[in-house]
Amino acid sequence: MKTEIFVSKINFLRVVDENGNADESLFPKDLDSGTLVRMYRLMLLSREFDAKVLSLQRQGRAVTYAPLLGEEATQIGSALAMRPSDIFVPSFRQHGVFIARGMPMDIMLVYWRGYEEGNIIPKEVNGTPIIVPVSTQLPHAAGMAFAQLYNKTGASVLVYVGDGGTSEGDFYEAINFAGVWRLPLIVIIENNQWAISEPRSRQTASQTLAQKAVAAGIDSIQVDGNDVIAVYSATRDAILSGKPTVIECITYRMGLHTTSDDPTKYRTDSELEAWKQKDPISRMKKYLESKNLWNEEMEKKAAAEDAALIDNAVETAEKFKPNPRSIYEHVYSYMPETLKEELDEAEANNFWQGVTE
């Protein structure tokens, strides 16, 4: 006997198209006009913040930075779908998620000036620090989701990973664990088509990244990641279902991998141009304008307000004086003897002042 024992399908969701036209039958019912405008404003603010950090880095006022340009809808849509009690676990590019969750921008900038004090996330933001080792955040997030289930908190854990990150063992292990234990874990794949210079086509032979969830026995969907409404809708549904879910958001990294990267070395202008036509911000703007919820005057006012907010945050962040002891204090939960010796020696030699005096 030979018979088909398993078939699967992956849905793709888009609610608002590139021209700003919405499929009303798919439009989430809980989105009022105030929230729609807020979504747009947060995308604008994230883009402005991003441009500012890039500029600071070029002036030697910030460290290596991973821009989010082009990925605003994926980040803001998913962040706004969370309830305050839901916990998010970022990787290193989710600046928009932090902003939408109320992370003070001056603290974010302290981190991007190179100080770990900026990676201490205020409790009410309900997220974990920036994590650079690719995909190591996934098993942590699965463990956190297990804790939510065990403690019956009712909260979900939303973890972000790039397309490249889904090739790591940590990704498969986390979704496998989530499937077995039916954890409230939502994995947002921010598929921006590139893992540094490695194109999506070279990362996996899998037709979609969403289908990787199938083997783990968990739900998944692919969404237009440049459509903030679709991302919101899929994430909200997943959170409310309480079930482990993988959401693949199709978006594009319009900028650099990081400030140390030069994408002109490995990708074509025509590819970038094609994605610019799908810009997540102009799409939402067209939609809001068609509903008379937004106009040029509001755009100008918003730009001025955002610039003032960001300038203020930069000013505050640049006044921040780091405590050099923190290099030693936060490595372990306690200070081992060997580290204590190093710290004592550094202090005895007035290490903080440098050696040139």
User: Which residues of this protein are in contact with ligand TPP, per CB under 6 A?
Assistant: 93, 132-134, 162-165, 190, 192, 194-196, 253, 257
Residue 255 as a binder of Mg ion (CB under 5 A): the answer is: no
Q: What is the SS3 assignment for 88?
A: strand
| Closer CB to ligand TPP, 110 or 134, in the complex | 134
Question: Would you call 172 a catalytic residue per the annotation?
Answer: no
Answer with the entry of ligand TPP, Mg ion, none that 244 interacts with (C-beta below 5 to 8 A by kind). Answer: none
- Least distance between Mg ion and beta carbon 99 (Å): 20
Q: Which residues pair with 16 in a beta bridge?
A: 22
CB of 162 to Mg ion, least distance (A): 4
User: What are the Cα distances from residue 96, in Å, to 46, 100, 130, 202, 227?
Assistant: 5, 6, 12, 28, 15
| 22: Cβ contacts below 8 Å, ≥ 6 apart | 15, 16, 229, 287
DSSP 24-70: GGGS-TT--HHHHHHHHHHHHHHHHHHHHHHHHHHTTSS------TT
Q: How far apart are CA 15 and CA 229, in angstroms?
A: 6
DSSP one-letter string for 173-193: HHHHHHHHHT--EEEEEEE-S
Q: How far is the CB of 132 from ligand TPP (least distance, A)?
A: 5
CA neighbor of 206 nearest in space, from 176, 170, 167, 178: 167
Of 131 and 239, the one with the shorter C-beta distance to Mg ion is 131
Reduced to 3 states, what is the DSSP secondary structure of residue 214?
Answer: helix
The listed partner (ligand TPP, Mg ion, none) that binds 70, CB under 5 to 8 Å by sort, is none
Using the minimum distance from each CB to ligand TPP, give the nearer residue, 148 or 220: 220
Choose the contact partner of 118 out of ligand TPP, Mg ion, none; CB within 5 to 8 A by kind.
none
| Residue in 106, 163, 227, 306 binding Mg ion, rule: CB under 5 A | 163
Identify which range of 97-105, 131-139, 155-163, 237-245 contacts Mg ion by CB under 5 A: 155-163
Q: What share of the chain is helix, strand, coil (3-state, %, to 5)?
A: 50, 10, 40
3-state secondary structure of 236: helix
Least distance between Mg ion and beta carbon 163 (Å): 4
Active site residue 257: yes
Shortest reach from residue 233's CB to ligand TPP, in Å: 23
Residue of 253, 287, 325, 332 with catalytic role: 253
| CA nearest to 271, candidates 287, 253, 249, 298 | 253
Within 172-201, which residues bind Mg ion (CB under 5 A)? 192, 195
Partner touching 51 among Mg ion, ligand TPP, none, CB below 5 to 8 Å by kind: none
Active site residue 40: no
Residue type, 220: S
Does the footprint of Mg ion cover residue 203 (CB under 5 A)? Answer: no
Q: Which is nearer to ligand TPP, 183 or 195 (CB)?
A: 195
Q: How far is the CB of 161 from ligand TPP (least distance, A)?
A: 6
- 162 touches Mg ion by CB under 5 A: yes
Element (H, E) at 224: strand 219-224
Nearest residue to the partner ligand TPP, using Cβ: 162
Question: Does 220 participate in binding Mg ion (rule CB under 5 A)?
Answer: no
CB closer to ligand TPP out of 132 and 180: 132
CB of 58 to ligand TPP, least distance (A): 20
Name the active-site residue from 257, 287, 325, 330.
257
- In the bound state with ligand TPP, the residue whose beta carbon lies nearer, of 133 and 336, is 133
Q: Work out the burial of residue 47: count CB atoms within 10 Å of its CB; fewer than 13 is exposed, 13-18 middle, 19 or more buried.
A: buried
Burial of 139 (0-12, 13-18, 19+ CB in 10 A): middle
Between 70 and 184, whose beta carbon lies closer to ligand TPP?
70
Which two three-digit tokens encode residue 334? 């306690």
Q: So which residues are the catalytic ones?
A: 253, 257, 266
